[in-house]
Chain A
């Protein structure tokens, strides 16, 4: 094959990674249409969108960079408190709060990254857990600022972009959260398909070879960690803004544990895992809550155990089959 022809093949092959699949477009159209299809469920949809963003954040470090974490709630909480405090004391503009929440969490991620990025998986799990617990204790202790166990109350939000007021049905809330999720998803999609994203996968696959290929592992992981932290901060900000309340619960351990389950359900490392997992998780939670409001924790525990013991392969097999069918449908439609 001639060199230019081969270069074209290489280009096409590299492009294949970031080409939009028809199923992806369908996914987002459906997400947008959801508020028309289920007008009474806007509050639930909003929760799903926020959880999806939070899961996307964990996927960025766990699925793409291979960093395990048990303390991702630290960033959710930081974003929530930052956005909540800003709204309460400075400005009611949602986008400003979003920016501040992301910046605060991203900064925390950057500052704590040297702690997290050393050592083994086990040390990482412990340190992330420790950092989240420290923040929880801090938020609890500085009740004057955070409201302590009563939560941060009295948050009033202005209209989004000065145009769309938050309504009590959660419609604006959902569309706002979904828009933020979509934009940040696009950014994540771009990042994971960039040379930077490729180098993260390299570190995840084989750190020794990555550094022998010229990748400065530490710097890249720190950058990825800070980015993921900012994403979690955005989820926290959305949570604070759309519920107009920040409870101490945002920093709780079970948030981090739930999140890992979300990613286990959906599968890590392909961006949609967190989104699909968030939908499944929330619907499951909602369904269980209707017939047994208590003991949700028991069921989530059972799911975790079953998933790890072997249920995951079954579920992912099913998802792959369905996705494959979609793919064929998509190709058929494209022709």
Chain B
């Protein structure tokens, strides 16, 4: 096992409110690591710093042992760190085909070519087709994304992140808002991701977390409260009190 993504003493405050409180975190290669915590624990803030949407106040972030703390978002993607968003962030006027072709063309370094024809690029076509089939988007690839049902849009969201061929995939509440019936299909695609992709999963649904995660970190008030295997975390009294206790009230 080796670390693919690490934070060292990561710290973020918003005008006096500490959102990320000196977090040391390690994601191991091939793991499916869940990050859980009650609402407002700072999970999304943490992910936003990892991906460069927010700049940390202090501390460092390393991807494959290289410091990426100050790199722009798109460079992190090129280095193998892709994400999905809690609220769908899609290209509304595009079709799933176009969106996946876009991500693929950026990854293959075609994006800056103004005279390149997409349909004359066998490599791009093959890889785009592979992603569309893997995420079962082949039947709807020519429909505008905005017109797709929510579950399918969620599928496109994950497919687009995966199309960047990341070594680390951050899934921010992938099942949020997806109806129960479509949830299983969604999570089975997640489970079927190749083993060399390390996944950081942020999820509220404890069923999903305990079914898929190989390791769990509990974040409360921006601080790491506990970390361990699902069994260890489930038995941890501090977690039961701070997290599950609260859930029981809800």
**Chains A and B belong together in one complex:** yes
With a CB–CB cut-off of 8 A, which chain B residues contact A162? Answer: none
Instruction: Classify the interface of chain A: helix, strand, loop or mixed.
Output: helix
CA distance A14 to B99 in the complex (A): 12
Number of A-B contacts (CB under 8 A): 138
CA distance A3 to B130 in the complex (A): 8
A212 with B82: in contact, given A3-B129, A10-B125, A195-B110 (CB under 8 Å)? yes
With a CB–CB cut-off of 8 A, which chain A residues contact B73? Answer: 211-212
**A12, A15, A214, most chain B CB atoms within 10 A:** A214
What count of chain B residues pass the 8 Å CB interface test?
48
With a CB–CB cut-off of 8 A, which chain B residues contact A199? Answer: 102, 105-106, 111
CB-contacts of B150-165 with A (<8 A): 160-161, 164
Q: B92 in the interface, Cβ–Cβ < 8 Å? A: yes
Q: B39 in the interface, Cβ–Cβ < 8 Å? A: no
> Are A6 and B119 interface neighbours, CB within 8 A?
no
CB distance from A189 to the nearest CB of B (A): 11
> Are A213 and B133 interface neighbours, CB within 8 A?
no
> Are B118 and A14 interface neighbours, CB within 8 A?
yes
> Are A14 and B101 interface neighbours, CB within 8 A?
yes
Partner of B129, one of A10, A208, A219, A220: A10
> Are B103 and A213 interface neighbours, CB within 8 A?
yes
CA distance A227 to B102 in the complex (A): 21
From B23-31, B83-91, B217-225, the one touching the partner chain is: B83-91
CB-contacts of A197-235 with B (<8 A): 197-199, 201-202, 205-206, 208-217, 219-220, 223, 227
A213 with B164: in contact, given A193-B118, A201-B93 (CB under 8 Å)? yes
> Are A209 and B111 interface neighbours, CB within 8 A?
no
A194 with B125: in contact, given A199-B102, A205-B92, A212-B83 (CB under 8 Å)? no
With a CB–CB cut-off of 8 A, which chain A residues contact B129? Answer: 3, 6-7, 10
With a CB–CB cut-off of 8 A, which chain A residues contact B183? Answer: none
Q: B78 in the interface, Cβ–Cβ < 8 Å? A: yes
Q: B191 in the interface, Cβ–Cβ < 8 Å? A: no
Partner of A193, one of B74, B105, B117, B142: B117
Give the nearest-CB partner of B92 in chain A: A205
What count of chain A residues pass the 8 Å CB interface test?
39
With a CB–CB cut-off of 8 A, which chain A residues contact B110? Answer: 195
A214 with B78: in contact, given A10-B97, A195-B116, A197-B114 (CB under 8 Å)? yes
CA distance A206 to B102 in the complex (A): 13
Q: C-beta contact mask, B224-236 vs A, less than 8 Å → 1, else 0?
A: 0000000000000
Q: C-beta contact mask, B68-86 vs A, less than 8 Å → 1, else 0?
A: 0000111001100011010
> Are B116 and A194 interface neighbours, CB within 8 A?
yes
> Are B93 and A205 interface neighbours, CB within 8 A?
yes
24 interchain pairs (CB within 8 A)?
A: A6-B133, A11-B125, A14-B125, A18-B117, A194-B113, A194-B114, A195-B106, A195-B110, A196-B113, A197-B114, A198-B101, A201-B98, A206-B92, A208-B85, A211-B72, A211-B73, A212-B73, A212-B83, A212-B89, A213-B102, A214-B74, A214-B106, A217-B74, A220-B111
**Besides the known contacts A6-B138, A202-B102, A210-B91, 14 further A-B residue pairs in the complex with CB atoms under 8 A apart:** A11-B119, A11-B125, A14-B97, A15-B119, A17-B118, A18-B117, A190-B114, A194-B116, A195-B106, A198-B105, A205-B90, A211-B73, A212-B89, A214-B106
Chain B residues within 8 Å of A, Cβ to Cβ = 51, 53, 72-74, 77-78, 82-83, 85, 89-94, 97-99, 101-103, 105-107, 110-119, 125-126, 128-130, 132-133, 138, 141-142, 160-161, 164
